Amino acid sequence: MQTTDFSRTELLIGSEALAELSQTTVAVVGLGGVGSYAAEALARAGIGKFVLIDFDTVGSSNLNRQVIATHSSIGKPKTEVMQARILDINPQAQITCHIAFIDQDNRAELLAGADYIIDAIDSLGPKIGMLEYLVRENRQFIAVMGAGNRSDPGKIHLSTIDKSHNCPLARRVRKFLGRRGIRGTFPCVYSSELPCKPDEDIESPDELIITRGRQRKTIGSISYMPAIMGMMAAAWVIRQKLES
């Protein structure tokens, strides 16, 4: 890493801490509005090693909220677009891309070697499955809850899952993890703003679907909400590393 590229960060945290960040590996699972901004913030802070996981390609509907979404990137795998963006910020970054849907069969392999993990999955079932795995394996991670159908950035919080409120996704996460005997206090970013419209998938009484396969209903979003939540997750990772 060219230290001159991160000279302002070095002035803030010092050369030794910057060197430690450059040797830290962070896995970002889900490169939508939350995950793409989290990865960008990590790269600009000096994190030097990444594991990027997402099965999807950039679509035109992503233009309003995903840092990787431009007209020139539509149709390209999100992991590859994010990789190119990180390398344009830090050509020395080491990046492993997985164009994959993370599930019970590949979690251990895909997340091996990651010092920290950011859960930016927006589908309930896969999110629950990965969070259960991370808790049971005692991994260092932060989960990000729902950003859709909200517009007040002043109601975004960095706390623990047990303290979250007014967030339907967080409530369901607590419920289904509780059924699996997990009542942890892992860190999360959530909004206490009541959604302006219900998310029918999250509010549905249907049993949890862990695997991919059900089409989700589209919900509204605004540019800054997932971006702020993603950057707060990145901030947690950076601060955890610097304070360790």
3-state secondary structure of 10: helix
Could you tell me how far CA 121 lies from the centroid of its own chain? 7
pTM here is 0.93
Cα–Cα separations (whole angstroms), residue 169 to 11, 125, 204: 39, 11, 11
Q: What is the mean pLDDT of residues 40-48?
A: 99
User: To the nearest 10°, the Cα dihedral for 29, 31, 33, 35?
Assistant: 40
In this predicted structure, the answer to whether residue 159 has a pLDDT above a threshold of 50 is: yes
Q: What is the mean pLDDT of residues 45-52?
A: 99
pLDDT in tens, 189-218: 999 999 997 665 555 555 455 555 445 678
* Coil vs helix vs strand at 206: coil
Residue 219, helix vs strand vs coil:
coil
- Span 1-27, pLDDT tens digits: 555 799 999 999 999 999 999 999 999
Take residue 140 and report the two structure tokens written for it. Answer: 């260092």
* pLDDT digit string, tens, across residues 167-176: 999 999 999 9
The 10s digit of each residue's pLDDT in 107-135 is: 999 999 999 999 999 999 999 999 999 99
Q: Which residues pair with 95 in a beta bridge?
A: 50
Return d(Cα 117, Cα 130) in angstroms, integer: 11
Which one-letter DSSP state was computed for residue 25? E
Kindly tell me if the per-residue pLDDT of 99 is higher than 60: yes
The domains found in the chain, sorted by start residue, are: 3-243 (3.40.50.720)
Q: pLDDT of 136-158, one tens digit each?
A: 999 999 999 999 999 999 999 99
Coil vs helix vs strand at 143:
strand
Q: How does DSSP assign 53-99, residue by residue?
A: E---B--GGGTTT-TT--GGGTTSBHHHHHHHHHHHH-TT-EEEEE-
Please provide the average confidence, as pLDDT, over all residues in the chain: 93
